[in-house]
């Protein structure tokens, strides 16, 4: 070996050694400042409520404050895009949903990020069924009655959504296709913003998350017709499913934590471990249950596999129903 090559190798050794040691050192010192958890939907919505329940206990488990940062708009795209472009140092996390990482990418190929390659999967946080809500003034008391009413009044009823391309939008369109009904779409920037109009009767139906929908039912402000799980849920065992009227109908919302792409695996492991510990906490379980969500947890690869399967399902539905984001 030539002398100059040996000199180059010797000179490069400290740099290579520093790179090798940087990962473990980073993990040992992480986190040394507050962590930001971006929520791509407005305050008061399902994702925001879950984020605040999780962030408090996650902060205790990981040893730093976790601050919720609401970045709503464009069906969750604005907040998700901000997270994807953040430094991959573990100090920016994203609480993503079916809307941002399954349905959004399937319905809108022009979103400013690649849901599969621009993020680092960290943990599957929770799943929640959706519920079919109508105003107390609605003539429909059951799912069958609502379908019959909608069929008799094509184009005269409307439904709210949390924006084009969200799971609320796609679930509603899926329902229309399965039930043979024509119901007008009224998009909002979040289901929490649609609630006053639903309660007053300006909106005829909303396929909302169990998390945000059922409290209004319990308060006597709205009527619930059905739940969108394939089988009756333990969260409300007396509540019938849409599938009991429309066989095969199913739609659930998932919530999960991502980091920007390239996030070091040692940091991913540390955050994943802390999230799983937070989800196992009795207080978090109780808060999630009261919200209507079931903690899930698990490994990053298992989370990634779940999202991949969910995306494939919605892509198939979107293609078959010829649904677009516009």
CATH number, domain of 217, equals: 3.40.190.10
What's the rounded Cα separation, in Å, for the pair 161 and 188?
Answer: 6
Boundary (domain end) residue, out of 244, 275, 300: 244
What's the rounded Cα separation, in Å, for the pair 178 and 132?
Answer: 15
Question: Is residue 294 a part of any domain in this protein?
Answer: yes
Note down the domain range covering 196: 129-244
Minimal CA–CA distance to 241: which of 129, 93, 153? 129
The total domain count for the chain is: 2
pLDDT per residue of the chain (326 residues) written in tens, 0 to 9? 555 554 444 444 444 444 454 445 556 799 999 999 999 999 987 789 899 999 999 999 999 999 999 999 987 999 999 999 999 999 999 999 988 999 888 888 889 999 999 999 999 999 888 999 999 999 999 999 999 999 999 999 999 998 877 788 889 988 998 999 999 999 998 899 999 999 999 999 999 988 789 999 999 999 999 999 888 887 889 999 999 999 989 898 899 999 999 999 999 999 999 999 999 999 998 888 877 788 999 999 999 999 998 898 889 888 887 777 66
Boundary (domain end) residue, out of 193, 211, 244: 244
Question: Is residue 273 a part of any domain in this protein?
Answer: yes
Minimal CA–CA distance to 150: which of 286, 250, 245? 245
Per-residue pLDDT, 196 = 97
- pTM, to two decimals: 0.74
DSSP 8-state symbol, 2: -
Backbone angles phi, psi at 161, to 5 degrees: -140, 170
Question: Is residue 6 a part of any domain in this protein?
Answer: no
Residue with tokens 């050694």: 17
Structural contact between residues 34 and 62, judged by C-beta atoms closer than 8 angstroms = no
Q: Do residue 189 and residue 225 come from a single domain?
A: yes
Residue with tokens 């991959």: 88
Q: Do residue 124 and residue 135 come from a single domain?
A: no
What's the rounded Cα separation, in Å, for the pair 297 and 172?
Answer: 28
Minimal CA–CA distance to 97: which of 130, 66, 59? 130
Question: Is residue 165 a part of any domain in this protein?
Answer: yes
Q: Do residue 62 and residue 105 come from a single domain?
A: yes
Per-residue pLDDT, 27 = 66
Structural contact between residues 140 and 168, judged by C-beta atoms closer than 8 angstroms = no
Per-residue pLDDT, 24 = 55
Minimal CA–CA distance to 296: which of 280, 273, 313, 314? 280
Question: Is residue 326 a part of any domain in this protein?
Answer: no
What's the rounded Cα separation, in Å, for the pair 301 and 268?
Answer: 11
Query: What SS3 class is residue 253?
Result: strand
Boundary (domain end) residue, out of 184, 215, 244: 244
What's the rounded Cα separation, in Å, for the pair 80 and 97?
Answer: 10
Per-residue pLDDT, 18 = 45
Question: Is residue 95 a part of any domain in this protein?
Answer: yes
Q: What CATH number did the domain enclosing 258 receive?
A: 3.40.190.150
């Amino acid at each position: 070996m030539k002398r100059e090559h040996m000199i180059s190798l010797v000179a490069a050794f400290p740099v290579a050694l520093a790179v090798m040691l940087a990962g473990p050192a980073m993990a040992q010192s992480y986190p040394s400042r507050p962590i930001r958890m971006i929520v791509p939907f407005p305050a008061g919505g399902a994702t925001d409520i879950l984020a605040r329940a999780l962030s408090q206990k996650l902060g205790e488990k990981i040893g730093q404050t976790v601050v919720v940062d609401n970045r709503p708009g464009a069906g969750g795209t604005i907040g998700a895009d901000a997270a994807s472009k953040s430094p991959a140092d573990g100090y920016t996390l994203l609480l993503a949903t079916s809307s941002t990482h399954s349905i959004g990418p399937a319905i809108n190929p022009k979103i400013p990020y690649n849901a599969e390659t621009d993020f680092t999967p960290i943990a599957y946080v929770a799943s929640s069924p959706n519920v079919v809500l109508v105003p107390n003034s609605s003539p429909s008391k059951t799912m069958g009655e609502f379908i019959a009413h909608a069929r008799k009044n094509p184009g005269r009823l409307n439904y709210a959504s949390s924006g084009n391309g969200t799971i609320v939008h796609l679930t509603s369109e899926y329902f229309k296709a399965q039930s043979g009904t024509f119901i007008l779409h009224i998009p909002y920037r979040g289901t929490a913003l649609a609630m006053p109009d639903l309660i007053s009767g300006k909106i005829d139906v909303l396929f909302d998350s169990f998390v945000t929908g059922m409290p209004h039912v319990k308060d006597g402000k709205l009527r619930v017709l059905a739940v969108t799980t394939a089988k009756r849920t333990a969260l409300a065992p007396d509540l019938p499913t849409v599938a009991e009227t429309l066989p095969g109908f199913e739609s659930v919302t998932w919530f999960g934590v991502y980091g920007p792409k390239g996030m070091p695996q040692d940091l991913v492991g540390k955050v994943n471990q802390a999230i799983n510990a937070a989800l196992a906490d009795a207080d978090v379980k109780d808060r999630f249950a009261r919200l209507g969500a079931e903690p899930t947890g698990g490994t990053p690869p298992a989370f990634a596999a779940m999202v991949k399967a969910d995306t494939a399902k919605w892509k198939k539905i979107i293609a078959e129903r010829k649904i677009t984001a516009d």
